[in-house]
Amino acid sequence: MESLLLTVWHEVASHEPIAPRLERLRGALRLQVPIRRLQLFQLQDEHRLTQVACTVEGSTNGTPATLEIPGVGEWCGTGDMLDLRGVGRSSSMERAFAALHDGVALICPLRIQNQPVGVLLVVPESRSGFAPKQREWLEALALPMAVILERHLEARKRDALERAVRADQQALDQGLGGRTDDGRIVGAEGDLRPVMERVMLVADADLSVLLLGETGSGKEVIARAIHEGSRRCGAPFVRVNCGAIPAELIDSELFGHERGSFTGAVSRRQGWFERADGGTLFLDEIGELTHAAQVRLLRVLQEGVIQRVGGHDTVPVDVRIVAATHRDLAAMVAVGSFREDLWYRVAGFPIHIPPLRHRPNDLPALAEHMAWRSAQRLGLPLVLPTAEDLRLLAAYEWPGNVRELAAVFDRAVVLGQGKRLALTSALGQSLPGGNMVAPRPTESGPGAGGQTFPTLEQVQRAHIEAALVRTRGRISGPAGAANLLGLNPNTLRSKMRKLKVRRAVLAIMERDSAW
C-alpha cells in the first residue's frame, strides 16, 4: 500500500499532461486492484460534469464529454464513495452514473479542503466489483486525484490567460501600426454606397449597431468607420473576438481583475469595458458568446458599471457597442440560443453588408487595391490586374469575401515575384504534394518568352482544375464542370483520372478562404 501511494504522489508532483499520468496510475493500481477504466470528471456547476481524462483498455469510450447529472454538485461536496452495484439507485444521480457502465462502477467525490472539484469513476475488470480492501485503496486515491485535477485545471486557466495576453498584444500591435492598409473603404461610392449611407446616418447617433454579413465581408472595416465618424473618434476602438474567449475567463475579460485574484493573475488587468471607456467596443462574432457570457455582458450593459474580479470598487464605464455576426441572430433568438434581452441591447441599428459576389461593380477597384496592398506588404513591384485577370476573378464566387480576395492577391504576387500576377495558380493553390496548378497561357506573364513553356497536358489539367474551382467541385449537371467545358461528365471523369486532376484544389480553397 505504501509503495503504491508513493507512486501515486509521484504522479501528483509530475508536470506532464494529465492523460499519460492517469494511464501510468492505472497501470500501477492494477497490480493491486482489478481496474479496467479510470475516468476523471471536472465539476462545472451544480449539475454538470465535464470529462477531463479517461484511460481505458480494449474498447472505445462512449461517454459524452459533458454530462448533466442532477444533484452531482451537492454529492461532490458532502457525499461518500458509492459502489453503483450495491445501491438501490433511488436518486436520479445514481441512475445517471449507473447508465454509463451498465451499473458496474465505483464513483468517488473529489474534494480539496471540503470544496468539491470533481468525480473519479472506476470500472472494475469483472462484474463482481471490488473487494472491501480494494475499495479502501481506491478511497485513499481521492485526495491525490483531487490535487491532480485541480492542478490540471489551474494549468489550463494559466494557458488560456497567456493566450489572452498574446491576443491582446497582437491587437495592440495592429493598432499601433501593424496595419499596412491605407484604411480606405473601397466601394464606398459603388455597391457599398447604401451601407455607407447607413453608416453616416448612425455614426454620430451613439446608438448600438449590429453589423450582419458573411465572414470576411468587411464588418470590422465598417465598425471602424462608424467609430471614426462619431464623436468618440478620439477615444479607443477596442475589438473583441467573442468566439475566442475561454469560458473560465469571461469575467476577467469583461471586467478585468485585480492582482492575485486567481492563480496566474500576476498583475492587475483592465477588462474590455474599461479599455474602451469613452470609445467604441466592437464585439465581433457576438453570436459565438456562451450562454453564461451573454448573461454577464447583459448585466454590464444594463448597469453601466463594472467590478474587477477580486476587487471591491465599482467602476462606471461609458462605451458604445458595435456588434457583428455572420450568423442569423434573429433565428438564434427564436430558438433560444441567443438571449432576446441582449439582442434588443445590441441590435439598435442593424446594417447588412452584402457579400462580395453581390458587389460586382466594386470588384475591379478592390482587385487593384489588393494588388497594391499585397505588393506593398510583401515589398514587391506593383503589377495591376489585366482585363483577363478581372474576368477570372469575376467568375469566382468568393465564399471568403474580401478577405479571401486579399489572400489570393498575396499568393498571386508572391508566385508572380513582382513580374506578373499568378492569379490562376493563386486561386487553385499548391497541393499537399507540393505540385502547383500549372499557369494558364492567358495569365499575365512571360507567356511563350518565359523560362518554361507549359505542356499541353499541364494546360489541360490546369484548365480542368480552374473549371472545378469555379463549379466548387461539381462535375455533372447544368452547374457542373463538364457542362462548362463542353464535355460529357464521364469523359471528364476519365480525363481527370488520366491527367491526375486533383479535386483537392477545392479543399485548399476552402482552407484558404479562412487564411
Residues that bind ligand ATP in the complex, under the rule CB under 6 A: 181, 185-187, 192, 213, 215-221, 284, 326, 369, 402-403, 406
Is the Cβ of residue 359 or residue 420 nearer to ligand ATP in the bound state? Answer: 359
CB of 184 to ligand ATP, least distance (A): 6
Cell matching residue 135: 475499495
Which residue lies nearer to ligand ATP by CB, 410 or 465?
A: 410
Residue closer to ligand ATP (CB basis): 119 or 203: 203
Minimum CB distance to ligand ATP smaller for 277 or for 410: 410
Tell me the β-bridge partners of 41.
51, 119
Tell me how far, at minimum, the Cβ of 282 lies from ligand ATP, in Å.
9
Give the β-pairing of 256-257 and 269-270: antiparallel
Q: State how far the Cα of 454 lies from the Cα of 458, in Å rounded to an integer.
A: 6
Q: CB 221 → ligand ATP: shortest distance, Å?
A: 4
CB of 167 to ligand ATP, least distance (A): 14
> Smallest gap, in angstroms, from Cβ of residue 394 to ligand ATP?
17
Q: CB nearest ligand ATP: which residue?
A: 218
C-alpha neighbours within 13 Å on the C-beta side of residue 449 = 4
Round to whole Å and give the CA distance between 314 and 401. Answer: 42
Q: Distances in Å between the alpha carbon of 246 and those of 79, 158, 242, 282, 292?
A: 30, 11, 9, 18, 11
Q: Of 308 and 369, which CB lies nearer to ligand ATP in the complex structure?
A: 369
Strands 237-241 and 280-284: parallel
Which DSSP state fits 309? Answer: B
Q: How many CB atoms lie within 10 A of CB 467?
A: 21
Q: Between 326 and 474, whose beta carbon lies closer to ligand ATP? A: 326
CB of 174 to ligand ATP, least distance (A): 11
Nearby residues of 435 by Cβ (< 8 Å), 6 or more positions away: 502
Only one residue has cell 455607407, namely: 196
Question: In angstroms, what is the minimal distance from the CB of 437 to ligand ATP?
Answer: 24
Of 42 and 217, nearer to ligand ATP (C-beta) is 217
Residues 6+ apart with CB under 8 A from 264: 154, 157, 158, 161
